[in-house]
Amino acid sequence: GSRQSRITSFFTKK
């Protein structure tokens, strides 16, 4: 199986 990752785990808050 695979899980959907979140964009927020790659790009951080400015």
Site residues, another protein (CB under 8 A): 1-14
The CB-of-2 to another protein minimum distance in angstroms stands at 4
> How is residue 13 written in tokens?
């808050």
The CB-of-4 to another protein minimum distance in angstroms stands at 6
Q: Distance between CA atoms of 13 and 2, rounded to whole angstroms?
A: 26
The CB-of-9 to another protein minimum distance in angstroms stands at 7
> How is residue 8 written in tokens?
């927020």
